Amino acid sequence: MALEKVVYTAHATATGGREGVAKTDDGKVDVKLDPPKEMGGGGTGTNPEQLFAMGYAACFIGALKFVGSSQKIHVPKDASIDSSVSFGPLANGAKGFGIAVELVVHIPGMEKELAEKLVHEAHEVCPYSNATRGNIDVKLSVA
């Protein structure tokens, strides 16, 4: 999918892979990277799956607000998402590794049926959802 126009571009540099550092060009994010103990690391730093989980959750809330505002439905400021990003070898003999995502959406004060409708529509416009669609398993639910 091509962009109609670029609104913003983030710039970051990672050095050393999973046992290194990553930082943005503006200095606002500067993290030590270290695999979790489950993957043979020390677990003392941040890992790429954690960063992806935070980014996807934040972006998806933005998509919820966008969809809500276009339908004159208020999405409260305390809406939140519990985001899980799992890592492992690909199934069925495929080579390499992959990730799977689970997003549990909390929209306080909103009826579950309406929240589920907004979540479905947000999944259609969220940049992370569009980038991952057909590539990884993404499970959505409303708490």
pTM of this structure: 0.94
- List the domain range (segments joined by +) for residue 9: 1-46
Domain count, the chain: 2
- The alpha carbon dihedral of 62, 113, 131, 58 has a sign of positive
Q: How far is CA 59 from CA 1, 36, 91, 103, in A?
A: 18, 24, 28, 12
50-82 per-position pLDDT tens digit: 999 999 999 999 999 999 999 999 999 999 999
Do 61 and 28 have their domain in common? no
Low pLDDT (below 70) residues in the chain: none
Do 117 and 136 have their domain in common? yes
What gap in Å lies between CA 138 and CA 85, rounded to an integer? 9
Residue 59: burial class (beta carbons within 10 Å; 0-12, 13-18, 19+): middle
Residue in the structure block whose two tokens are 């695999």: 35
Residue in the structure block whose two tokens are 């993957």: 39
Do 80 and 129 have their domain in common? yes
